[in-house]
Chains A and B, each alone.
Chain A
Amino acid sequence: MSDDIKISIRNLYKIFGPDPQSVLQHVLDGTSKTDLLANYNHVLGLQDINIDMKAGDITVVMGLSGSGKSTLIRHLNRLIEPTAGQIDVDGEDVLAYDEHKLRDLRRQVMSMVFQKFALLPHKTVHENAGTTLKVRGVAKKDYLPEAEKWVKRVGLDGFGEHYPHQLSGGMQQRVGIARALTSNSPIMLMDEAFSALDPLIRTDMQDLLLELQQELHKTIVFISHDLDEALKLADHLVILKDGYVVQQGEPQHILLNPNDPYIEDFVSDINRARVLRVRSIMEPIEAGNVPSNLAGDVGENDTLESVIARSDGDTSHTYAVKNNDDIVGVLDMKNLVRALVPREASEAGARNY
């Protein structure tokens, strides 16, 4: 994962209503969302969003419904126009694009996957997957092989001549992903792409996405309302609430150091043992300075769950943490157990159910 910033959002505001520009100044002066609606009859969709998305990363934007996450992703390819702010893609200001350049951006640079799949019902799977090339004017005989390749890659080999209504939801979304991949664009926008699917299918699709990402290194912007999904996929996690960014950063870091009661509430319900990884809670050591009383070694990207399974519940051990073959830290099982309890819960006692 390189450090190139692919997409940079600066001071982005979106106000819904009859005359957003007229009330923008009030928002800049600090009028709250509630006051804006009560006094000026405008809805504050997004306020002061600043996010840098690195090339090759999966950036997950998470929030509950109404938090503005779907609005945010639609600003990236300007399906929704912002009220104020700046969006740079590869250093170019997307908001300054004219119609022609914007169309090229949507055709070549960004492809999108939708919650409700949005496939063309009268086209076959192959034709649907080829839509992104077809709109560029690629001839059918040229885009079909490309579409077939990606349909096969997402695991739908043999379904190419089927129509969308003959497929299950999960299979339809595979077509949606194949369609986005066929465009060969460096950026993929995924708007709650897996939210409409059954939990088991959803896990399959998440695995598929991670597997594809290993190979393709796209810049993915993923919208989700599911924290487990967000933690599983995210390299960079952005948590939205009421249109502003509550916290953003590395997911493990957010999980261990939530900076807002809203997020603490969020993270208190997840299975921390499955999400947290050894590297997040180990104590780093200098090379060669290895303690002697180690009970064994674990990988730095192992989940705590797998470590607990290995330790057989014994909390007295300390393990060496390895990155490939180098020992990079030690993991005290006591720290591990402590990390399993949310900070809020450890401070305020157990939550009352």
Chain B
Amino acid sequence: MAFYDFVFEKLGLQDWCNAGGTVENAPSSMAALLAQTGVVEERSAIDIPFPSLDELNDSCGAILQSRDVTVGVEEGFLAMKSGLRWFLDPMTQPLSWLLEFALQVAETTPWWIVFLALAIVVYVASRSFKMVAFVISTMAFLAFIDHYDHAMQTLAIIFVCAFLCVLFGVPIGIAMSRSDRLQRFIIPVLDMLQTLPTFVYLIPLIFLFSVTEPKLYGIAIILYAIVPVIRLTNLGIRLVDEDVIEAAHSFGMTSKQKLFGVQIPLALPNIMAGINQTIMMSLAMVVIASLVSAPGLGVLVLRGIRNLELGVGLVSGLGIVLLAIILDRVTKAALGRVNAAQSH
């Protein structure tokens, strides 16, 4: 009846097939269901079907259907879930606390204190009053159109996540730069994190953690944004001038003195470039993470899409662009200062 029947007949496997179960075609999609009710067309040589699992299953019931594969993956994951949760949950709990705390601070602090604090931070980072004026007027504009709360939520999340990315990413990058073996092991992981579509690793995270917990989007953002800071720390340290390293050896520096006195300071421009990238990627992810209950401007964008509220979506999108410009300019200004101090 099905195309590949003859294969199993030739191989004399009918008994095995029939023993495996009845040839009962449970449809796995609407199309399959329709096809089942319709007339089975005669097939010519032109449309030989690819011997896929479903096609073979039509001929031999002992062979799994494609649907069983996805079901298998799902069951496997669910079986591991409680085990994973058992140590991942407590381990990541501080992330939830941090995010909740940051969001609370962002929401409860009076706006003028926030502006003052922002001005100080921006000045320390960039040493430029022009930059301070730019940042304050941008924030004032967002506040003026009543997007202040959402913008602050977004900033708070980025601040926590980027901070954690640097906290973990820089040491990982340093460790990678010191061991070729570790580098060979970590680079494919980084490649995977960077190429995997962001929605894909939201799925297992949703199953692992409750959607109401902040750490769900926290982890998603960190996994996505930690990559550049690791890569550039590793690269920066590997690119430190060989001559200076040799000089460090010739003066009898210990490897600790070399790391903190020579390698990290000289790699700093690259590390800062990595931090800039990490912050920008956190911003990109925090918008997507609004799908899994991350508060902030992303929520408004999502509302714009869901309810077809064009204005809401576009204005909040503009807000995100403004935040991106602020974050980029300030970190670039800090990077520029580091570069100026080291130019050769």
Contacts and interface: CB of A to CB of B under 8 A. Distances in A.
B and A form one assembly: yes
Give the one of B249, B250, B268, B341 with max A CB within 10 A: B250
Interface residues of A, number: 29
A180 B198 CA distance: 54
Contacts of A183: 251
B241 interface: yes
B341 to A, nearest CB: 6
Interface stretch (B93-101, B227-235, B252-260, B305-313): B252-260
A120 B262 contact: yes
Nearest to B338: A122
B255 to A, nearest CB: 10
B341 A106 contact: no
B243 A116 contact: yes
Interface string B325-344: 00000000000000001111
Nearest to A115: B243
Contact of B253 (A112, A119, A135, A165): A135
B252 A122 contact: no
Given A135-B257, A165-B342, A122 B250 contact: no
Contacts of B247: 112, 114, 118
A209 B87 CA distance: 65
B266 interface: yes
Contacts of A77: 250
B265 A122 contact: yes
A165 B251 contact: no
B252 A105 contact: yes
Contacts of B253: 135
Give the one of B247, B253, B261, B341 with max A CB within 10 A: B247
A334 interface: no
A17 B253 CA distance: 27
Interface string B111-147: 0000000000000000000000000000000000000
Nearest to B343: A165
A136 B341 CA distance: 26
Interface of A: 77, 79, 102-107, 110-112, 114, 116-122, 131-132, 134-136, 163-165, 183, 189
Given A121-B341, A135-B251, A189-B250, 12 more contacts: A106-B249, A106-B250, A112-B250, A114-B247, A116-B243, A120-B265, A120-B266, A121-B342, A122-B342, A135-B252, A135-B253, A165-B342
Interface of B: 241, 243-244, 246-247, 249-254, 257, 261-262, 265-266, 268, 341-344
5 contacts: A111-B250, A112-B251, A118-B247, A134-B261, A135-B251
